[in-house]
Each structure stands twice: as structure tokens, then as C-alpha cells.
Amino acid sequence: MQLIVGNDEMYFVFCDYIYKVLLPFLRDPKVMEVFASYPGTVLKASRRKNIDSVIYPPSGVIPFHGFSMYVSPLCYLYDDPVQLYIVFRQMYMNYFHRLHIISDDPEGILSLCILFERILQDKEPELVMHLTCVGAPPLRLAFRWILRAFSGYLSPEQVLLLWDRILAWDSLEIIVVLAASIMSHRKRNLMQAENLTTVEAILADFSTLNVTSLLQTFLFTFSTELPRSG
């Protein structure tokens, strides 16, 4: 957590606050309920000289590099750690857990990656071809954004606007629509890039991006129905 949140100028002030939320979260057995439909995703340990196995940690969640970014933007909304915890847990159980579990869930990370590729290929085939030819496949660039639901990439305000639309749509698919819209928005510069380093530099700064404007422009410009992951 210190490596990610502690070095982020937007969130470093919340390090202790986030720690207070994540510590009980990892020990909360209620979170385990979400993994019932994902057999084999929870780590079990056997007690010595006992055939019974136990879930560890009790939540079933093994925190990975960047996991704290699922909490960080919410710190701007709630100054009560109890309220923050309840909202974060619900967001995780309803949505975020799908972003790091390999499954056939239609809104799991695999399906979202497929959907992203289909949308971009359908709407910006020239861009996809160019990026692939210069060694910068679009999914390689966008995967990190999708995995974190753009937390740590967009400004906190814009992340919360995106998450608000996840709630409104009751779907994670809006994340990949945004990812495709960013690629489309930066198309002119990307088409001039000749290598991965240049492409990554073009996509390094999201400070001026506006989620609402990007989504509206992309969806209105390509008014036909977007491809589905299934």
C-alpha cells in the first residue's frame, strides 16, 4: 500500500485511513460470500494434525499490488471510517472482485478485455492495426486501467464520476467503453507513434480528461450498438 498510495500525490494523505479500512476488510468473513460462485479462487490452509481446512485470510481476498486503489477515491467522500468501510465493501462485493478473478463471468476481467478489443476493433480498426504493428497492442496498454477501474490514473473526481456511472448502469462495461474512448480521443497522436515508448508517453497523462465528455462523444459519434463481450 505504501508503494502505491504513499507515492500518489492525490491519496498519500489517506494512508492511515485506508489501512484502517483494509485491515478489517481482510478479516471480514462476509466478503467470502461473493466467492461462492467462483470455485477454486479462495486459498485454504490446513491446521497441523487436523484434516479440516480454514480460509485465510477470512475474507478470502489476497491483496495484490494496487489493491488499495479500490478504496482511495472513496476517501474523498467519507470522513467516517465505518461509513467508508461499508461503502467500499459493497462496491467490492458487487463489482470490483470481478476485476481480478479469472472466470467466465460476463463482466469478469476476461470478458471485459474481450469487449474492449471488440469495441476498439469495430470503431477504430486503423488505430488497432497501427498500435499492434508498432509493438503496442491496445489491450496491453488498457489492461492496467481496467484492472483498477481507472483509480490512480484519472483524477479522484473523474474516477468517482466513472464509478457513479458503474452504479447507474449496474455494470462494469462502462470501464472498457471509457478505455476505448481514450484511445479514440488520442488517435491523432497515437497514429504518429513509432514505438511502445512513444505510445506510453502519449497515454501517460490523464489529468485533462473529462469522463462525461469522453463517454458522450464516443457514444454519440459511434451511435451504433456497441459489441458485447458474449
Which three three-digit cell numbers place residue 87? 461503502
Beta carbons of 172 and 107 less than 8 angstroms apart: yes
Q: Compare 95 and 65 and report the one with higher pLDDT.
A: 95
Q: Which pTM value belongs to this model?
A: 0.87
pLDDT at 155: 96
Of the candidates 201, 171, 41, the one whose C-alpha atom is nearest the C-alpha of residue 94 is: 171
Which three three-digit cell numbers place residue 204? 501517460
pLDDT at 168: 95
Which three three-digit cell numbers place residue 208? 485533462
The residues spanned by each domain of the chain are 1-101, 102-221
| pLDDT tens track for 59-72 | 888 888 889 999 99
- Answer yes or no: is pLDDT of 75 > 70: yes
| pLDDT tens track for 98-138 | 999 888 899 999 999 999 999 999 999 999 999 999 999 99
Beta carbons of 154 and 209 less than 8 angstroms apart: yes
pLDDT at 1: 57
Beta-bridged to residue 154, according to DSSP, are 151
Which three three-digit cell numbers place residue 147? 484492472
Which CATH superfamily hosts domain 102-221? Ypt/Rab-GAP domain of gyp1p, domain 3 (1.10.472.80)
pLDDT at 70: 96
Beta carbons of 14 and 81 less than 8 angstroms apart: no
